[in-house]
Structure 1
Amino acid sequence: MTMPPKQQIGSFSAPLSLDFDGGRVSARRLELLAAIGQANSINGAAKTVGMTYKGAWEAVEAMNNLAGVPLVVARQGGRGGGRAELTEVGQRLVDEMGRIAALQTQFFAALDEDGTLGNSFQLLKRIEVKTSARNAFMGIVESVQKSVVNAEVTLRLASGEALYAIVTGESVRSLDLVPGKVVYALIKASWIVLTPADEKIKTSARNRLCGVVSHIEEGSINTEVLLDLGKGITLAAIITNESHKMLELAVGSRACALIKASHIIVGID
């Protein structure tokens, strides 16, 4: 999947956010992006915008995933932080944010002067939908195989991996799912099953995404594992601490994520 032409990175909307074909980057995450450009550190940028270190890392992963190309290249360095740099595309977005900020100020001033427009704008903000799914990926519909009740939709991610989703026939119609359409796939981290990359097992899971373990965070009950799928795309999985020990996963090792096609939610803007 290639990056759109320079003038079509995304479209800004107020309050300042960035709309990609696969989802929206919030004003708070754009603020984090600018802070990373200043601090060259995830930890330092997180403190600047008032985020936790973990929250900032998750925001960076989400932005890279939604953009389809890396906006930030970072190397983890523990709780003390690590070095992080904006890519050329990331820096370009930050520069454009500065130019747009002045226009945004003028826009809100106009809303304040017109009470009717201001009230309508607040109503539009309330109906924006958010999701608790840990993984959100942009993809392009490659094929749709219909049956009597359901359909299998094949998506192609920016990493080049294919993702298969089972949706109802009604969803195919209402979402207008046709080859070439840009959509996004939502996957809860707890729905993902991890296996070592060299594990030769047969499974009914339709999807098998393999990558390199880039981060592991163990909690009191569960462990979060991040897989680097390549091209700036990461996948987060939540497994039990017991499973983590049994699988002997470590940063740098290869692992595969098994995902049932019925556990993938397909959405559009």
Structure 2
Amino acid sequence: MTEKSAHQPGDTLEVGGSVWLRSGAETLGGAARIALLAAIRETGSITGAAKAVGMSYKAAWDAIDAMNNLAGEPLVVRASGGKGGGGTTLTPAALRLIDTFRAIERAHRAFLQQAGAAIEGFAENWQLIGRIGMRTSARNQLAGKVATVTRGTVNDEVQLALPGGQTVVAVVTHESTEALGLVPGRDAVALIKASWVMLMTDDRARLSARNQLEGTVVRVTRGAVNAEVSLSIDDSTTVTAIVTNESVDTLALAPGQHAVAVFKASSVILGAGFGG
């Protein structure tokens, strides 16, 4: 028996594609994340919005954290309970983002229709362009501006200023500094895996780790062995760490508690926008 090919010679090729908004080198959001924002606007609830777009509550919060971090300002604001019952609202920046995305999406569809009809081989080449794109698995993607670049004998120390005033320090090679065009004022993104982040509750402790970001615990999600702890560093920046459940209990980590995210400068990967 022969397997039928997904594409038959007589089939008509159609041009496809999707719109993604980017912040520097990282993806801020695509159709799914914009749909989540729109659903939050309609429902006034993270739970209701997640259900409306077919997303888990945790996945919705992860997407919101990522968008806030990369936007450099709050997009989603969760109000505490009270006379009005609290709820979740979008900032003016988020509302503009939805409108901008919808307008770009309409123009994008029109462009694909015109290009597909006018350019020979456009469909195959467009698919290849999409495959070339790369995403990162780093849980923490913190957007900021390069504050200082200190030249060393072999490596450079780069300080990235976050929106809330705290800084992230990375140690990179001279070649990386030059290749990424890292100079003061340049937009960049710090990538840190959640497993590289340690947490402490006493900010008076002396540690050799160069990065010590103070914040407030906003979520603790327990697993069988480890827990995912999210720390709000400022209004738009969240850092997530993966620690053991035992550590959560020992440090008494719970929402509202002050804590410090600790990670080495050598654990930070920097990214900068292409052609920017």
Give the TM-score, by structure 1 length: 0.88
Q: Is the 8 A contact 1:22 1:137 kept in 2?
A: no
Over 3 Å counting, the alpha-carbon distance change for 1:201 and 1:51 in structure 2 is same
Whether 1:133 aligns to 2:138 is: yes
Query: Offset of 1:231 from its aligned partner?
Result: 2.0
What is the aligned counterpart of 2:155 among 150, 157, 162?
150
1:236-265 per-position Cα deviation (integer Å, ceiling 9, x unaligned)? 111001111111111111000111000000
| CA distance, structure 1, for counterparts of residue 164 and residue 268 of structure 2 | 17
Whether 1:266 aligns to 2:265 is: no
| CA distance, structure 1, for counterparts of residue 121 and residue 25 of structure 2 | 31
Query: Offset of 1:103 from its aligned partner?
Result: 1.7
Deviates more, 1:30-39 or 1:247-256: 30-39
Whether 1:45 aligns to 2:62 is: no
1:63-87 per-position Cα deviation (integer Å, ceiling 9, x unaligned)? 011000111112599xxxx832111
What is the aligned counterpart of 1:21 among 6, 18, 24?
24
What is the aligned counterpart of 1:195 among 195, 200, 204?
200
Letter in 1 for 2:248: H
Whether 1:168 aligns to 2:137 is: no
| CA distance, structure 2, for counterparts of residue 32 and residue 211 of structure 1 | 26
What is the aligned counterpart of 1:103 among 101, 107, 122?
107
The aligned counterpart of 1:35 is 39
Cα RMSD of the aligned pairs, angstroms, is 1.8
What is the aligned counterpart of 1:242 among 243, 246, 268?
246
Q: SS where residue 230 of structure 1 aligns?
A: coil
Query: Offset of 1:108 from its aligned partner?
Result: 2.2
| CA distance, structure 2, for counterparts of residue 22 and residue 181 of structure 1 | 12
Percent same amino acid among aligned pairs? 44
1:167-187 per-position Cα deviation (integer Å, ceiling 9, x unaligned)? 111111211211111110001
Deviates more, 1:113-122 or 1:220-229: 113-122
| CA distance, structure 1, for counterparts of residue 34 and residue 253 of structure 2 | 33
Deviates more, 1:112-121 or 1:181-190: 112-121
Letter in 1 for 2:215: G
Letter in 2 for 1:46: A
**Runs of 5+ consecutive residues of structure 2 not aligned to the other structure:** 1-16
What is the aligned counterpart of 1:83 among 84, 87, 96?
87
| CA distance, structure 2, for counterparts of residue 96 and residue 146 of structure 1 | 40
Q: Is the 8 A contact 1:70 1:231 kept in 2?
A: yes
Count, aligned residues: 251
Q: SS where residue 62 of structure 1 aligns?
A: helix
